[in-house]
Amino acid sequence: MLSTCVRTGRSTSSENKGIQQESQESAENEAEDFGVVMNVSERIQNETLVLMISGRVTCYSRKVFQAIVKTARFSGAKHIIFNMQEVTFMDSAALGGLVLAYLNLNEGDMDMSLVEPKHPVKSLLEDANFPSLIPTYPTEEIAFQAIQ
């Protein structure tokens, strides 16, 4: 099992060096000014990479989010689940980031799905018609059943 945690406001793991270092430093500078925090932890389960995202996903966390997606392409996983049940806020830039993640992963022959967030993020995704583009499930258990 692989597990790391990324906070856009402050690094919580020495594993965030390398590919994410520049993005992390830039995001830290921006986040400190605006109090924006996005947490990400990851694990691999049955050739599926699960990214558990929590907090505020905004334009200020985009660089860390992009680095995580880029790294995910090289994880060896065949499917990526973005568990967004603990996301408290998402802006339009983050919404665009999800579309770019989908296109990037699709280009690499990887499937992507979302575990449905709570309101108001759920409403934002529905208003943007995301469930028709990216499979969206109410729980991780249901997502795993659907992708097998």
Instruction: State pTM to two decimals.
Output: 0.75
Contact 7, 38 (CB under 8 A): yes
Chain position carrying tokens 């499937």: 111
* Segment 86-142, tens digit of pLDDT: 999 999 999 988 888 899 898 888 999 999 888 889 999 999 999 999 999 999 999
Tell how strand 38-45 and strand 48-57 pair up: antiparallel
CB atoms within 10 A of CB 15: 13
Tokens of 4: 């790391």
- Structural domains in the chain (count): 1
Choose among 39, 46, 43, 49: nearest CA to 85: 39
Which backbone phi and psi does 70 adopt, to 5 degrees? -60, -45
The reply to whether omega before 131 is within 30° of 0 (cis) is no
* Segment 40-82, tens digit of pLDDT: 899 999 899 999 999 999 988 878 878 888 888 888 899 999 9
Q: Residue 6 above 50 pLDDT?
A: no
Q: Residue 148 above 60 pLDDT?
A: yes
pLDDT at 87: 95
Q: What is the CATH number of the domain that holds 18?
A: 3.30.750.24
Range of the domain at 105: 5-147
